[in-house]
Amino acid sequence: MKKAKIYIPSKTAMQSGRGKTKKWVLKFETRHDVTNPLMGWESSDDTIGEVILEFTTKDKAVEYAKNNKLLYEVIEPKKSDFIIKSYSDNFLKD
């Protein structure tokens, strides 16, 4: 059986907004990772690892995995606290 992870991708360091972090992603895990002895690159003969599916909700992603008989793992997003600070707070002592 194929294994898959269902998660919301985190934003990259180059992004300031959170626009692309609203969709759930189903990504297949590859089986045969091989390191090329000459160049040191990682490669795989399993092309399913290149497939990334996007869903609007977690339930739709789980339903897709169940309908296609996939072993899946749901990774819940971590909640981060958003602290509003002003520039002057950098110079104030606590």
Residue 52, amino acid:
I
* H or E stretch covering 62: helix 58-67
What pLDDT shows up at residue 20?
66
Q: What is the dihedral of CA 58, 71, 36, 50, to 10 degrees?
A: -40
Q: Which pLDDT belongs to residue 7? A: 93
Q: Which runs of E-coded beta strand occur in 1-94?
A: 3-7, 24-28, 33-35, 42-44, 52-55, 71-74
Specify the pLDDT at position 70: 92
Backbone angles phi, psi at 7, to 5 degrees: -160, 170
pLDDT along the chain (94 residues), means of 10: 87 71 87 79 79 93 94 89 82 76
pLDDT of residue 15: 66
Output the CA torsion 54→9→27→35 (10° steps): 140
